[in-house]
A = this chain, B = another copy of it.
Amino acid sequence: MAIDGPLKLSLQILRGGEPAIGPGKAIVLEAIGRTGSISGAGRSLGMSYRKIWRLVDALNDDWRERVVETQAGRGEQSGARLTDFGADLLARYRATERRTMEAAAGADLDWLLSATKRDQ
């Protein structure tokens, strides 16, 4: 769910102590952008329609503007897309994450990555 490998880095922006955006919600937003629907995102991520809905609901509640817009339709057939605000949010989150990841590189990280036992 986060930037992963032997190094795992997780970035969250909190609201009221709870994550308003983090690795999981970012993946859900990308899947909605890619598939154009809540149900498509769920299938693509192996998550239930209900679970994706809850995350979308939380996103739309935690940010100043709507993040995901749903279009009228019959239940799971209705479409969904990121608003301009939502696309901006996702891009800025990913850009921040990328910068932190790049900054991790260096002699200290090399030492850490080479200092775990190798028998696994």
Contacts and interface: CB of A to CB of B under 8 A. Distances in A.
Interface of A: 2, 4-16, 19-21, 61-65, 85, 88-89, 92-93, 95-96, 99-104, 106, 108-109, 111-113, 115-117, 120
A112 B91 CA distance: 10
A89 B115 contact: yes
Given A100-B104, A103-B100, A116 B63 contact: yes
Contact of A9 (B4, B9, B16): B9
A96 B116 contact: no
B11 A104 contact: yes
A85 B111 CA distance: 11
Given A10-B9, A11-B7, A100-B100, A95 B108 contact: yes
